[in-house]
Amino acid sequence: MEENCELVYDGKAILAEGPSWDEPTQKLLWVDILGEKIHRFDPKTKHNETIKTGQKVGAAVTWTDNCVVAAMEHGFYKIQLEDGSQTALVDPEPTVTGNRFNDGKCDPAGRFWAGTMDMEEKQPTGSLYTLERDGTVTRKTGEITVSNGLAWSPDQQTMYHIDSPTRTVYAWAYDLDTGKITHRRVVKVIPEEEGFPDGMTVDSEGMLWVALWDGWKVIRIDPSGRRLREVKVPAARVTSCCFGGKERDELYITTATVGIEEESLKEQPNAGGLFRIKPGVQGLPTDRYNGGIY
Ligand code: CA
């Protein structure tokens, strides 16, 4: 079954990424990694707030109503949304120069997980870290080229993760209490002609929605990798997705313009925008960072 989505915000982002729905404020937080911006979109008013970060920002998650934690080129930062003021928290890779943070998300216990990547997307120099609730950092795993697509199953027993250049969606056994991940297995390798798996989310039925970079779509698969549905997106570089809206029944989709030839951009004039579809299933609540305000 093929379905289409609608444009909700023509943001013309370079690399829109990391959408997350904040339940208390009913707003969508997203970033433009290469545009060095954090955005917060209010679907009710269509107003989009923008905060400049001054460095590449891989992901941002809500901490309090007016404050986020961002995983950036130089580590984790606390950023106030009213004035954009920043406090550096911790940099897990102070001596690595070729990496930056990429995708990140909070787990159901409120730890902030974020992975790094080789900025040239060639070497497996990336690692996956957690910013713990006490502000310390733990390295969870390494040997990643482009860390992407974190999601947790509704029963909180499984964590999903993507390493994009290998085109692989992985599942880990996940322990909610300790944040430990073990027993990695392959869920699905995306066929070459469909592009690269990028961001991902889970719905309340435990199915995965995977954004396909250069694939013009988001696919829904089950935990064994079986394809169930696909949503066509009028942009080639589909980067990520998350559920939002009052009933959490709207799938928000981010896209990118980076690296697309001008000629090809004419065929996808809304690339870099935010899209949405009501797929008839609900998502899980997005978890905020649960750190004490330190
Ligand atoms: Ca990504």
pLDDT of 265 over the 80 cut:
yes
DSSP label at residue 262: H
Tell me the one-letter amino acid at 164: S
67 contacts 83 by C-beta, under 8 angstroms:
no
Residue of 27, 80, 28, 74 lying closest to 52 (CA atoms): 80
Q: How many CA atoms lie within 13 A of 60 on its CB side?
A: 34
* Choice among 33-37, 98-102, 112-116, 133-137 with the minimum mean pLDDT: 98-102
Could you write out the three-class secondary structure of 11-27? CCCCEEEEEEEECCCCE
Q: Distance between CA 294 and CA 277 in Å, rounded?
A: 38
pLDDT at 294: 62
Instruction: Look at residue 160 and tell me whether its pLDDT is greater than 90.
Output: yes
Which pLDDT tens digit goes with each residue over 20-72?
A: 999 999 999 999 999 999 999 999 999 999 999 999 999 999 999 899 999 99
Distance 290 CA to ligand 1 centre (A): 23
Amino acid, res. 290: N
* Per-chain residues with Cβ under 5 A from ion ligand 1: 17, 103, 148, 198-199
Q: What distance in angstroms lies between residue 121's CA and the mean position of ligand 1's atoms?
A: 12
- Do the Cβ atoms of 254 and 30 come closer than 8 Å? yes
Please state, in angstroms and as integers, the Cα–Cα distance from residue 116 to each residue in 74, 129, 229, 256, following that order.
11, 8, 30, 19
> What's the pLDDT score for residue 195?
96
Q: What angle do CA 191, 195, 197 make, to 5 degrees?
A: 90
CB half-sphere exposure, 54, CA atoms < 13 A = 9
Paired sense of beta strands 227-232 and 57-64, if any = unpaired
Tell me how far the alpha carbon of residue 224 lies from the centroid of ligand 1, in angstroms. Answer: 22
Q: Rounded to the nearest whole angstrom, what is the distance from the C-alpha of residue 162 to the centroid of ligand 1?
A: 9
Query: Percent of the chain beyond pLDDT 70?
Result: 99
Report strand pairing: 99-106 vs 147-152. Answer: unpaired
pLDDT one-digit tens code per residue, 171-221: 999 999 999 999 999 999 999 999 999 999 999 999 999 999 999 999 999
Cβ count within 10 A of residue 158:
20
Q: Identify residue 191 by its one-letter amino acid code.
A: P
- Residue 172 CB partners (closer than 8 Å, separation 6+): 158, 159, 160, 161, 181, 182, 183, 184, 185
Mean pLDDT, the chain, whole residue set: 95
pLDDT tens-digit profile of 266-293?
999 999 999 999 999 999 998 999 988 6
Give the Å distance between the CA of 18 and the centre of ligand 1.
7
